[in-house]
Amino acid sequence: MKSLINKKILLGITGGIAAYKIPFLIRDIIKKGGLVKCILTEAGKEFVTPTALKTLTKQKVYMDEFDIEEGVIPHTTLSKWPDVFVIAPATANTISKLANGIADNLLTLVGLDTRKPVLIVPSMHENMYNNEITQKNLEILKRRGFNILEPEEGELAGGDRGKGRLPEIERIVFEIEKILEKKDFLNKKIVVTAGATREYLDPVRFISNPSTGRMGFSLAREASLRGGNVVLISGKTELKLPYGVDFIEVDSAKDMKTEVFKHFDDLDYLIMAAAVSDFSPSSVVQEKIKKDSFNFTLSLSQTPDILNEVGEKKKNQKLVGFALETENLLENGYRKLKEKNLDMIVINEPTETSGFEVET
């Protein structure tokens, strides 16, 4: 999704080993439609080359605060340019300078001068990160309104393990998007259901459908970006979890109903994007059904109609339903909207561009 169209991202790159990963960050921002300019410190040049950055961004790379051309002062111009100033990786050294008002290179000058949102992504050896001086400096920057994305635990350069790794590129992009998004779901609780349920016949076989969960996962991601407290209740899927959401995995329609009702009383929005099975086997065989006993009749019962039940119970909650229809889309959709007491319904049909297993 081109969620960063025409957004201006100023990237400050300092002399941490993780600087070698920043070209991938640039690539992902540009793929999402963003514009990138880079400031590189002297130490940063040891880990990523200006040529690589210049080639990827198709822009000049800014390195020298005294590179004044025709009266254009780099730091005052660059500090006004971006929608967000991202410092990644941010060394202990640069964090310390920013916290203490030291402005002895182009990056720290811009850090002191800019009034735009700033995202700091510290990355260093765990001992340096946990050092009380670094922690105190980060506190100062937080109080100044800078956004800090904490490093991750894992393997560090030099072979040690600990907290200090640069977060995944996807995580940094998510944080940038979050800073730029409107916050219209702040303090709202949003429950999203996703994926397909499984109705087991025996321990190894089940009735299901081809829902991938992508729709619900995308909606949960967007709600989280927009400041919501998001609970994602999903059938089993291979999808990567969106950042910042509480995740609950379920099997059957009955399990999904239980989880939805656990959260129902205090939620603000319920978005039911899951493809919930309408039928389940009337009884589950405890042992695997043998191949030679397969000549039997499968008796099915209706599963709970979760949308119907929440519709009956709703007070101030806003309910959004999804329905897949193969005929009379509008007519059937309108009827379901009324019958189930929903606030909104999304009707789609199984085609090459909508329905199951396609990017909608």
Ligand X SMILES: Cc1cc2nc3c(=O)[nH]c(=O)nc-3n(C[C@H](O)[C@H](O)[C@H](O)COP(=O)(O)O)c2cc1C
**Which amino acids are annotated catalytic?**
209
Tell whether residue 14 is a contact of ligand X (CB under 6 A).
Answer: yes
Cα(359)–Cα(326) distance, rounded to whole angstroms? Answer: 19
Beta carbon nearer to ligand X, 169 or 260: 169
Q: Binder to ligand X among 43, 52, 239, 324 (CB under 6 A)?
A: 43
Q: How far is the CB of 124 from ligand X (least distance, A)?
A: 3
Tell whether residue 41 is a contact of ligand X (CB under 6 A).
Answer: yes
What the block records as the tokens of 103 is 């402005």
What the block records as the tokens of 132 is 């009380």
Beta carbon nearer to ligand X, 16 or 235: 16
The residues, any chain, with a CB within 8 Å of residue 174's CB and separated by 6 or more, are 221, 225, 242, 243, 244
Choose one: 57-65, 91-99, 181-189, 206-214; the region binding ligand X (CB under 6 A). 91-99
Task: Determine which helix (DSSP H) or strand (DSSP E) holds 139, and give its type and residue range.
Answer: helix 132-143
Q: How far is the CB of 230 from ligand X (least distance, A)?
A: 32
Q: How far is the CB of 127 from ligand X (least distance, A)?
A: 11
Tell whether residue 92 is a contact of ligand X (CB under 6 A).
Answer: yes
Choose one: 48-56, 123-131, 212-220, 334-342; the region binding ligand X (CB under 6 A). 123-131
Cα(210)–Cα(6) distance, rounded to whole angstroms? Answer: 36
Tell whether residue 306 is a contact of ligand X (CB under 6 A).
Answer: no
Q: How far is the CB of 359 from ligand X (least distance, A)?
A: 37
Strands 279-281 and 300-302 turn out to be antiparallel
Choose one: 29-37, 38-46, 212-220, 231-239; the region binding ligand X (CB under 6 A). 38-46
Tell whether residue 242 is a contact of ligand X (CB under 6 A).
Answer: no
What crossing angle do the helices spanning 22-31 and 50-57 adopt, rounded to 10°?
10
Beta carbon nearer to ligand X, 44 or 82: 44
Tell whether residue 311 is a contact of ligand X (CB under 6 A).
Answer: no
Q: Binder to ligand X among 57, 93, 218, 234 (CB under 6 A)?
A: 93
Cα(238)–Cα(226) distance, rounded to whole angstroms? Answer: 24
Instruction: Give the count of beta carbons closer than 10 Å to the beta carbon of residue 238.
Output: 6
Q: How far is the CB of 128 from ligand X (least distance, A)?
A: 6
Choose one: 16-24, 57-65, 252-260, 320-328; the region binding ligand X (CB under 6 A). 16-24
Within the chain, how many helices (H) and strands (E) appear?
12, 18
Q: Angle at Cα 323 formed by Cα 321 and Cα 327, nearest 5°?
A: 150
Tell whether residue 124 is a contact of ligand X (CB under 6 A).
Answer: yes
Which parts of 21-117 are beta strand (E)?
35-40, 61-62, 84-90
Strands 161-165 and 152-155 turn out to be antiparallel
Tell whether residue 34 is a contact of ligand X (CB under 6 A).
Answer: no
Instruction: Give the count of beta carbons closer than 10 Å to the beta carbon of residue 313.
Output: 13
Residues contributing to the site for ligand X (CB under 6 A) = 14-18, 41, 43-44, 91-94, 123-124, 128
